[in-house]
Structure 1
Amino acid sequence: MRAADALPAQFNAAQWFVGRHVAQGNGDRIALLSDGEQLTYAQLDDAVRRFAAALEAQGVHRGERVAIALPDSRAWSVAFWGALAAGAVAVPLNTLLTPDDYRAILADCDARLAIADPAIVDGAAVAPPGCIIWDAAHLLEQVECTTPRADYQQTHRDSFAFFLYSSGTTGEPKGVVHLHHDPWICARTYGERVLGVRPGDRAFSIAKLFFAYGLGNAQYFPMDAGAACILFAGRPTPPAVFEQVARHRPTLFFGVPTAYAQMLAAMDAGAEADFSSVRACVSAGESLPAPIFERWKERTGLEILDGIGSTEICHIFLTNEFGACRAGSSGKPVPGYRVRIVDEEGHDVEGEDIGDLLVEGDSTMALYWNKHERTKAVLEGSWIRTGDKYRRDADGYYWHAGRSDDMLKVGGIWVSPVEVEAALTAHEAVLECAVVGREDRDGLIKPHAYVVLKSPKQAPTESEFQHFVKERLAPYKYPRWVTIVDGLPKTATGKIQRFQLRERSRA
């Protein structure tokens, strides 16, 4: 029996995470907190049902896609849960993409309606034919003037609920399809059984809502318990994060290793930070180096519950737990999930041998949208291949040993070396190049570019190359180091030997 079978067949995630609290008499609890405003569950429920009615009035039918390119805000939450309430499919979009990225994703998901902040992207310039374009102001106007839907659409627990686009292991955006029961599974496993989220909690996430990690952290984990979500639209720089923590006093703090390293550096430089309200710190997105764990605990008195999740699983499936953290490890399986480490033949490895990580859990994606062959490549019955190499120690803790491919995770976001290489190669001075991962002083992976010039006499500076890439790609993808070389190591067939460059970067 699946865990999701504990739910009734007719199940709408928006009704569970939003409307249920009103029906149970808890509508006066705070649902959303952001700069200058707060919304109760009753107010959010009303806005969600109004937006659902507005979608239907625009001709958006059940199962059609509603794309969301907004900063974390009240409008984002209303759009996401309102789409589900109408039986439509929400498609949150990364706010750091290029116009070409948005154009490709909106076409791939065949968006019926897109809500886009003009500061993020010109929706009309990237939308496919027939796609309705709204901005946040129009969304809120529609909410104000539309009579709310009487109830929530009676979707099935296995109906499509939302797509999350991930570059994953190929560098090509893939629409990861999740069902209405998936966030309920994550909330009842990691949220309830690991974090013990309760009504009085306030959750603040550095990871934004368009990430699978951020969506759980600052929406459905707290909402499952009737707790409060702290939403912050700005860049999570250390000063901004410290100010938000001081203002809203979160009890649950969700970060990524890069952010923890940056905050520690700011504290070392004299910045004041008060985390006394926080009872749990969480990290995911990339492996947390042990020195960061130790320094954070020394500074704040708080252990960081490091774990690993994926867009395909919806959230964290391996985690450290309160009082049982092992610095540098990804912890143990979250209750409700099973994990295997297998060799190249698919057999379980013995002892502490390194192998490919497979996961089984009821929040696993249904499929990659429009990518049947790619779906078949990662799903093996009820198991899914994560693309990670792992080992398990004698105490049952799992240790990350690298990626099964050449993709990089920078600040918790996938970066394709091929994409960065393509941007660099567009420079008139570049003959060829290769990009690999290199650890910075905090032990976090960043892109390192090796460049062969057309002429040694034309040698742009490192900063010029970095600026060139930033103009063409999302800013976080630029190479932190650029090394000029005479040639790239290659096989007899001309393939670049990246492992040699990785070894050089480690030297």
Structure 2
Amino acid sequence: MCTVDLPEHLNAATVLVDSHLQQGRADKPAILCGDATVTYRDLSKAINRFGNVLLNLDTRMEERIAIIMPDCPECVYAFFGAMKIGAVAIPTNTLLMPTDYEYLLNDSRSRVLVIHSCLLERIEPIRTQLKYLKHVIVVGEPPQGDDLAFNDLMDVASEALEAADTSKDDSAFWLYSSGTTGFPKGTIHLHHDMIVEADLYAQETVGVAESDVSFSVAKLFFAYGLGNGLYFPLRTGGTTVLLPDRPAPKTVYEVIDRYQPTVFYGVPTSYAGLLYLAEQEGRTSLGRVRMCISAGEPLPKVLYDKWLDRFGVEIYDGIGSTEILHIFISNRPGHVKPGSTGQIVPGYEAKIIDEEGHEVGVGEVGALLIKGESVAGSYWNKHEQTKETFRGAWINTHDKFHVDEDGYYWYAGRTDDMMKVSGLAVWPTDVESILANHDAVLESGVVGVQDKEGLIKPRAYIVLKDKNAASDELVKELQTFVKTTALPHKYPRSIIFVDELPKTATGKIKRYKLRQMAEAEG
């Protein structure tokens, strides 16, 4: 079995950044963002400065540093600066609501928050409820009140910093993953995890190299994006392109044309959008892109085929998770079965089990369990969920798969009701609880339905209080209601009004019946 040999004592910031100064890459671009070019020397100095900023604020080892930032160099400085002094960085989704931030900041007991000025309005309503937060550091526009200016703090901080004496098994960063209850879970990752994933997947499996320029549409606060856009290129001594803005198809093509990346990371929804625009504009070139990676949701074979036919570049589909940090099953150069998720990444082990815990045979569907060195140790402050997911050396992915005679894994759905929409988790109960707050809705049931591209989108079956109120205008109103109450990707793309929902004797929605209805309706 492929393994990664690491010393007992290491600091991820030193391994992923400082090592390149000794290896002759000090003047090589590490980050490209807008008009900015950050060399490995620049990056090392900025990380040291921010580490000293935190030390000057009396930050201690293992204290949490929350980061609510668009993808930009300052986000990277904060991430590794915290890690270098032995604190714990928490890259946080920039698309959340104030109540979500209240939960995350209090649950993590974050002592310092690093936030961009364009996102400050998200935390203003909840400031007085943040029980553990001591300092707010603002990037961008000059801050107000007691908030601290990032640039001012950096200007007076030293460029010299000795890394904390961390072990490979010390906490380095947390990533919050979605949960069935609506409350995300803090997934604890260690200093060695990024190095393991970069070596086993990025280098050994798909062949990311020092000469590569990487660009990811998935943001750094996602586990997928963090590898794509940060520690994969840094581990190999390559270059990453960061995009602070929303990765709309037109913007993505502008980035590809300007920076000429060689490795592109997307999700099926982004590939579908890029393909549509290319068809509209007659585009057939991706510049220097030699390899495309996909994860987040299954990549339909039809989308793979259309992409390859238009651009002549393969998409290597795979599956990863926040708990395992990145991809652990993947297609790869020379070994692609379109429609499959690929083969196990060397260094990881997989088994598929039935409901009694017994391994199933080839072609039989069961729950997928994974073992590997990048797997998180636990969820923070979530004992019951930890027991459900982490099973000794194995982790329950809560995904259903079957494996064929060639060792390729084929996705067969979730062991629970979660669906992946645009690569993001959507729980039907979350959408149903929002719809229940609308005056016109008596009850609803939500399931995932494939669109014409083979991608999963939410469909809501709704029982109205007044059945005569059903109309196209009400459909639009309900969709807008969900969009403005929750994250936009959660809104039901289609709504069907019904007289009643199929239920069990105990009153639970028979979701499989709704899926059958959806399949019949198309």
**TM-score, scaled to structure 2:** 0.95
1:164-203 matched pairs, under 5 angstroms: 164-203=175-214
Q: CA deviation at 1:168?
A: 4.4
Over residues 347-387 of structure 1, what are the superposed CA-to-partner deviations in whole Å (9 max), with x where a residue is unaligned? 11012110110000000001100001211111111110000
1:374 equivalent in structure 2: 385
Q: Residue 301 and residue 109 in structure 1: after superposition, are their counterparts in 2 closer, same or farther (change >3 A)? A: same
Q: 1:442 aligns with which of 445, 448, 453?
A: 453
1:46 equivalent in structure 2: 45
1:155-234 matched pairs, under 5 angstroms: 155-234=166-245
Give the 3-state SS of the residue equivalent to 1:349 in structure 2.
Answer: coil
2:138 equivalent in structure 1: 135
Please state if 1:319 is matched with 2:318.
Answer: no
Contact map agreement 1:257 1:287 (CA 8 A) in 2: yes
Q: 2:486 aligns with which of 473, 481, 484?
A: 473
1:500 equivalent in structure 2: 513
Q: CA deviation at 1:119?
A: 2.6
2:143 equivalent in structure 1: none
Please state if 1:453 is matched with 2:464.
Answer: yes
Q: 2:349 aligns with which of 338, 348, 360?
A: 338
| Percent identity (aligned) | 45
Contact map agreement 1:30 1:40 (CA 8 A) in 2: yes
Give the 3-state SS of the residue equivalent to 1:111 in structure 2.
Answer: coil
Tell me, in whole angstroms, the C-alpha distance in 2 between the residues paired with 1:186 and 1:244.
26
Tell me, in whole angstroms, the C-alpha distance in 2 between the residues paired with 1:164 and 1:475.
21
2:144 equivalent in structure 1: none
Tell me, in whole angstroms, the C-alpha distance in 2 between the residues paired with 1:125 and 1:142.
26
Please state if 1:427 is matched with 2:438.
Answer: yes
* Equivalent position amino acid for 1:129 in 2: K
Q: CA deviation at 1:421?
A: 0.9
Contact map agreement 2:169 2:191 (CA 8 A) in 1: yes
1:301 equivalent in structure 2: 312
Contact map agreement 2:187 2:376 (CA 8 A) in 1: yes
Tell me, in whole angstroms, the C-alpha distance in 2 between the residues paired with 1:164 and 1:140.
26
Please state if 1:275 is matched with 2:277.
Answer: no
Comparing 119-128 with 38-47, greater Cα deviation is found at: 119-128
2:500 equivalent in structure 1: 487
What's the Cα RMSD here?
1.4
Q: 2:250 aligns with which of 227, 239, 245?
A: 239
Please state if 1:415 is matched with 2:445.
Answer: no
* Equivalent position amino acid for 1:93 in 2: T
Please state if 1:126 is matched with 2:126.
Answer: yes
Q: CA deviation at 1:169?
A: 5.0
Give the 3-state SS of the residue equivalent to 1:461 in structure 2.
Answer: helix
1:74 equivalent in structure 2: 73
Tell me, in whole angstroms, the C-alpha distance in 1 between the residues paired with 2:169 and 2:179.
24
Give the 3-state SS of the residue equivalent to 1:72 in structure 2.
Answer: coil
Contact map agreement 1:438 1:445 (CA 8 A) in 2: yes
Tell me, in whole angstroms, the C-alpha distance in 2 between the residues paired with 1:309 and 1:472.
29
Q: Residue 471 and residue 61 in structure 1: after superposition, are their counterparts in 2 closer, same or farther (change >3 A)? A: same
1:109 equivalent in structure 2: 108
Tell me, in whole angstroms, the C-alpha distance in 2 between the residues paired with 1:254 and 1:154.
34
Tell me, in whole angstroms, the C-alpha distance in 2 between the residues paired with 1:140 and 1:375.
39
Give the 3-state SS of the residue equivalent to 1:68 in structure 2.
Answer: strand
Please state if 1:363 is matched with 2:365.
Answer: no
Give the 3-state SS of the residue equivalent to 1:161 in structure 2.
Answer: strand
Contact map agreement 2:284 2:310 (CA 8 A) in 1: no
Gapped runs of 5+ residues in structure 1? none
Over residues 292-330 of structure 1, what are the superposed CA-to-partner deviations in whole Å (9 max), with x where a residue is unaligned? 000000011011000000000000000001021100001
* Equivalent position amino acid for 2:136 in 1: I
Over residues 318-348 of structure 1, what are the superposed CA-to-partner deviations in whole Å (9 max), with x where a residue is unaligned? 0001021100001100011011011111111
Q: CA deviation at 1:129?
A: 2.7
Q: CA deviation at 1:476?
A: 1.2
* Equivalent position amino acid for 1:114 in 2: L
Tell me, in whole angstroms, the C-alpha distance in 2 between the residues paired with 1:348 and 1:451.
39
Q: CA deviation at 1:134?
A: 1.4
* Equivalent position amino acid for 1:181 in 2: H
Contact map agreement 1:368 1:374 (CA 8 A) in 2: yes
* Equivalent position amino acid for 1:88 in 2: A
Tell me, in whole angstroms, the C-alpha distance in 2 between the residues paired with 1:274 and 1:232.
21
Give the 3-state SS of the residue equivalent to 1:395 in structure 2.
Answer: coil
Please state if 1:286 is matched with 2:285.
Answer: no
Contact map agreement 1:52 1:149 (CA 8 A) in 2: no
Q: Which runs of 4+ in 1 moved over 6 A?
A: none
Over residues 78-129 of structure 1, what are the superposed CA-to-partner deviations in whole Å (9 max), with x where a residue is unaligned? 1111110111100011111111111101110000001122433433543513
Tell me, in whole angstroms, the C-alpha distance in 1 between the residues paired with 2:116 and 2:370.
36
Q: Residue 124 and residue 114 in structure 1: after superposition, are their counterparts in 2 closer, same or farther (change >3 A)? A: farther
* Equivalent position amino acid for 1:109 in 2: S
* Equivalent position amino acid for 2:14 in 1: Q
Name the count of aligned residue pairs.
Answer: 506
* Equivalent position amino acid for 1:78 in 2: Y
Tell me, in whole angstroms, the C-alpha distance in 2 between the residues paired with 1:271 and 1:44.
39
Q: CA deviation at 1:479?
A: 0.8
Contact map agreement 1:343 1:356 (CA 8 A) in 2: yes
Tell me, in whole angstroms, the C-alpha distance in 2 between the residues paired with 1:272 and 1:400.
31
* Equivalent position amino acid for 2:364 in 1: D
Tell me, in whole angstroms, the C-alpha distance in 2 between the residues paired with 1:23 and 1:438.
52
Contact map agreement 1:170 1:407 (CA 8 A) in 2: no
* Equivalent position amino acid for 1:57 in 2: N
Comparing 12-21 with 460-469, greater Cα deviation is found at: 460-469
* Equivalent position amino acid for 2:340 in 1: S
**TM-score, scaled to structure 1:** 0.97
Contact map agreement 1:189 1:334 (CA 8 A) in 2: yes
Contact map agreement 1:246 1:274 (CA 8 A) in 2: no
Q: CA deviation at 1:503?
A: 1.2
Contact map agreement 2:117 2:139 (CA 8 A) in 1: no
Q: CA deviation at 1:429?
A: 0.7
Q: CA deviation at 1:22?
A: 1.2
Contact map agreement 1:177 1:368 (CA 8 A) in 2: yes
